[in-house]
Amino acid sequence: MLQKNNSAVLHGVCDLRYETTLVETPSDDEVLIRVKSCGICGSDIDRVFKKGTYHFPTVIGHEFSGEVVFDCENKLFGKRVAVFPLIPCFKCESCKNENYATCENYDYYGSRRDGGMTEYIAVKRWNLLLLPDGLSFDEGAMCEPVSVARHAALKLNIKNGDNVFITGAGPIGLIVGQWAKLFGASEVYYKDIDERKINFAEKLGFCEYKKGVRIDCALEGTGFSDALKSCLEAVSPRKRVVFMGNPAGEINLSQQTYWHILRKELNVCGTWNSLFGTNENDWKESLLAMAEGKIDVKPLITHKFALSQCNTAFEMMKNKTEFFNKVMLNMGDEK
């Protein structure tokens, strides 16, 4: 069994270190994975520079894929896998109904326990999905945002010919746009404070929102009050608004903005994470859609860094010194 590897370890807020760590010996319900790709999520930026993780030190990263290099049962050795990062308690009412995202006592790779920005990690078998042939490790690592986006897009209840409005043209917002088109949307419109993101969205075949366009359903993807206001103003009466953006602070609505909900009789709901159940599984559907070419995440990956360059990648994203969409860390050759 391997003894040591290299990892991106958060020792405290603003203290991310690329260093040697010990390889955990897998328990009977785990396998050892050689990580190939790990995406940097916007939440990772907040954890490194603002919030921290639930304990220190922590290997961060929850969007990852790799190859099984040890399995005591010899069933998964050599298999290429993506990893569902949430570990449920399996005891609470949510878990009994397979609503694992709302588990009352969950664990989580990359924040509550060591995650995927490492060369080797022990992962529970239950959390693994086999990558379809032809799908790259980078695409496998994108399965998490694709699944979160699918879960949100389904809540929009898109009908054929609908116009969809999305605030925030980041990775998940753009993937929601792809799902929306797949589900029958006529056009997908975006609003973002960064004009470069709008330009990027337009290159992918989407549109910039202009006041007056008919909007049948809207997704708030930023967690900011002004963006939520834009959604409530833009959407047509008796239509749907889905809240997805994770707020960094207080969300405030003026009386006039709140009235949009009442006077338009809007259907408003929230979305959180994704489904990973026996019957409903956003992850399996996302892998299938990517494998069939219906969802294409490759154009979204604008930057790739070696794991040893993790601090360079995080600083670039924090300071926005370059335009980026999805930034990927690779451990060895990406396939």
Does 183 lie in the same domain as 61?
A: no
- Residue where a domain terminates, one of 270, 288, 306: 270
Residue 160 lies in a domain: yes
pLDDT-derived band at 335 (thresholds 50, 70, 90) equals very low
- CATH number (domain holding residue 50): 3.90.180.10
Per-residue model confidence as pLDDT tens digits over 156-189: 999 999 999 999 999 999 999 999 999 999 999 9
Amino acid occupying residue 255 = Q
Please report, for the chain, how many H helices and E strands are present, in that order. 10, 18
Question: Dihedrals φ, ψ of 103, to 5°?
Answer: -55, 140
At 83, is the secondary structure helix, strand, or coil?
strand
Does residue 225 carry a pLDDT above 90? yes
Domain that holds residue 18: 4-142+297-330
Whether residue 132 is found in the same domain as residue 186: no
Domain-embedded: residue 289: no
Q: How far apart, in whole angstroms, are the C-alpha atoms of residue 312 and residue 70?
A: 31
The predicted pLDDT at position 1 comes to 60
Q: What are phi and psi of 12, to 5 degrees?
A: 170, 170
User: In the structure, what pLDDT confidence band is assigned to residue 334 with cuts at 50, 70 and 90?
Assistant: very low
Output the six-digit token pair for 235. Answer: 């959407």
Under DSSP, is residue 308 helix (H, G, I), strand (E, B) or coil? helix
Q: Are strands 301-306 and 128-130 parallel, antiparallel or unpaired?
A: unpaired
Q: Which of 311, 305, 304, 327 is nearest to 8 (CA)?
A: 311
Give the residue-averaged pLDDT of 110-123.
98
Single-letter amino acid, residue 224: F
Residue 166 near residue 219 (C-beta atoms within 8 A): yes
Asked if the model's pLDDT at residue 333 lies above 70, the reply is: no
Judgement on whether residues 154 and 137 belong to the same structural domain of the protein: no
What pLDDT is attached to residue 3? 76
Q: How far is CA 323 from CA 170, 196, 197, 198, 300, in A?
A: 11, 7, 8, 12, 12
Measured distance CA(257)–CA(273) in Å, rounded: 27
Instruction: Tell me how far apart the alpha carbons of residues 82 and 144 are, in angstroms, rounded to a whole number.
Output: 9
Q: What CATH number is associated with residue 224?
A: 3.40.50.720
In angstroms, the CA 157 to CA 153 distance is 8
How many domains is the chain partitioned into structurally?
A: 2
- Is 32 among the domain residues? yes
β-strands 58-59, 326-330 pairing:
unpaired
The model's pLDDT over 252-289, given as tens digits with 9 standing for 90+, comes to 999 999 999 999 999 999 999 999 999 999 999 999 99
* CB neighbour class for 324 (10 Å; exposed up to 12, middle 13-18, buried from 19): buried
Paired residues of 86 in beta bridges = 108
Whether residue 128 has pLDDT greater than 50: yes
Q: How far apart are CA 183 and CA 176, in angstroms?
A: 10
pLDDT reported for residue 233:
98
State how far the Cα of 58 lies from the Cα of 109, in Å rounded to an integer.
10
pLDDT reading at 2 higher than 80: no
My answer on whether 97 and 182 are in the same domain is no
Report if residue 251 sits inside a domain: yes
**Residue-wise pLDDT tens digits, 37-58:** 999 999 999 999 999 999 999 9
| Average pLDDT of every residue of the chain | 96
What is the distance between the alpha carbons of residues 118 and 6, in angstroms, rounded to a whole number?
6
Q: Is 284 a domain residue?
A: no
Whole-number Å distance between alpha carbons of 241 and 290 = 26
pLDDT at 4: 85
